Amino acid sequence: MLDRGYYVSFANCGLPYFVGDVIQQESKLLLASPDLFRDRFNIEVRLRTEAIGIDRTAQELVVRELDSEREYRQPYDVLVLSPGASPIRPRLPGIDLPGIFTVRTLPDSEDIRDWIESRAPRRAVVVGGGFIGLEMAENLAHRGIDVTIVEMAEQLLPPLDPEMAEYVHRRVEKHARVRLGDGVAGFEQAADGSLVVRTQAGAAYEAGMVVLSIGVFPESGLARAAGLEIGERGGIRVDSRMRTSDPHIWAVGDAVEVKNRLTDRWELVPLAGPANRQGRIAADVICGRDSHFTSAQATAVCGFFGMTAAQTGATEKTLRRAGMNDFQAVYLHPNQHAGYYPGAKRIHLKVLYRASDGLLLGAQAVGEEGVERRIDVIAMAIQMGGTIFDLEEAELCYAPQYGSAKDAVNMAGMVAGNVMRGDVALASWAELKTTEAFILDVREVEEVRAGCIEGAVNIPLGKLRARVNELPRDREIWVYCRAGHRSYYACRFLAQNGFRVRNLPGGYLTYRAWYATSQSASVDAVAAEVTP
């Protein structure tokens, strides 16, 4: 086993928490040593040793010992490439100034810790608001550093759909400054040695340190130079057995491209779970077993400032890019356990399914507790080819402190099942601003006074039967409440009385996420319609 680094095995997913001093001992991150591999498995590990070339004809590696600069050739019968992916470090002015870091290896995190302890920076800029960016922001804040996040996209956690990322934004901006839709143009060093981060929009942020977390790219240079097939996204192209275009060479991990389970498109999926499975499958195949890596569905989770965001399968953005428009989305905002048990926390959940048959396509969730459990359940359902009807029937653990008799997963299936069976039709939040439909708010008056959709007419659900004649029969009616529950009852009643009606999924909580700038929508516009 060849590794150009100083460690053969370390927990790189724990590096942000080592920086934040949540994990205080470096030894906790070291998972194995060369001695362990030798004594337990009879495997020779050569550290600080880099493969710099592949002679496919001779089946030999060209190897360099980094400390001595000695080069030699290493023959192989079978070669497995697992070079991983490197953090993107764009060629910007000042990019090599001291105090600008990336986070990939244990030495990287050691350098950041040393910088913090020796320089005591008061401010930091984190470039990139993805998974690693948020984890680094949280851990720098934990060290008492004032953090600014600069993200080129218009949202944090770009893999999520925008309305789901809005819940992330609300939490993060309570703990760090967030600047969206603006990329970094360059870095400068001030007279006192601090850094100035300049953006494309002309903003400037002073910082004692900068952490770059703007993504990774596959380290496929060795494979490319050897003439192995490289995919459109720059990763090493492999088959389902993890074999490259050379029958004697396998590749696994962040350096390879894999098929997406839902879209059947080639993707880069730099996640630990798929990488571990790929390593096992490659070993099986090399040893003669008929093992296959079927596909990936990008199941991921991120914790930040007491909140969790998780996803599995396709997002709405992914589906639209793939031209897969036969889908429907439902939104729910259930508690993570029974509401009457102390400490109930809300989960914001979006589930995507194929409109024609209910096949599960993806899910995203954000909340303080219980988020990853629900996404894990849905991830397995997707992997097994499940439908929203399977979510209805899922038998899950229940006790008041853990869930509800109808778990959030069950509720997602039931809400989608109601749509599939024709019990209710869904309206589109994307069309809210242009629709000519009559917007009906069935919440209580006190709720409306706290915020509402501009132009909506309020008739509380309990008074709807008595006031049904106030509603137009010549227009479609779109109904909403706080989270979609009461509006469903209203839709059923109105449909049974001959009205053309649709439910706005997820209610006002989803509206606030879809139209974040509309949270202060005028209440005066509907005040005349409200009857106590």
- Residue tagged 């491209």 (tokens): 257
DSSP label of 184:
E
Contacts of 191 (CB under 8 A, 6+ apart): none
Measured distance CA(190)–CA(213) in Å, rounded = 23
Measured distance CA(277)–CA(408) in Å, rounded = 29
- Helices 162-172 & 131-142 angle (0-180, nearest 10): 10
- Residue among 178, 254, 175 nearest 220 (CA): 254
SS3 49: strand
Report the sign of the C-alpha dihedral through residues 340, 346, 352, 356, in that order.
positive
Given the residues 13, 302, 452, 481, the one annotated as active site: 13
For residue 477, what are its two tokens? 């009616």
For residue 30, what are its two tokens? 């070291």
Contacts of 40 (CB under 8 A, 6+ apart): none
The reply to whether 13 belongs to the active site is yes
Contacts of 470 (CB under 8 A, 6+ apart): 459
- Residue among 267, 269, 255 nearest 218 (CA): 255
Measured CA to CA in angstroms, residue 385 lies from 14, 188, 409 at distances of 32, 52, 16
- Per DSSP bridges, beta strands 146-151 and 177-180 are parallel
Write out the DSSP string of 258-312: EEBTTT--EEE---HHHHHHHHHHHHHHHTT-------B---EEEEETTEEEEEE
The residues that are catalytic are 13
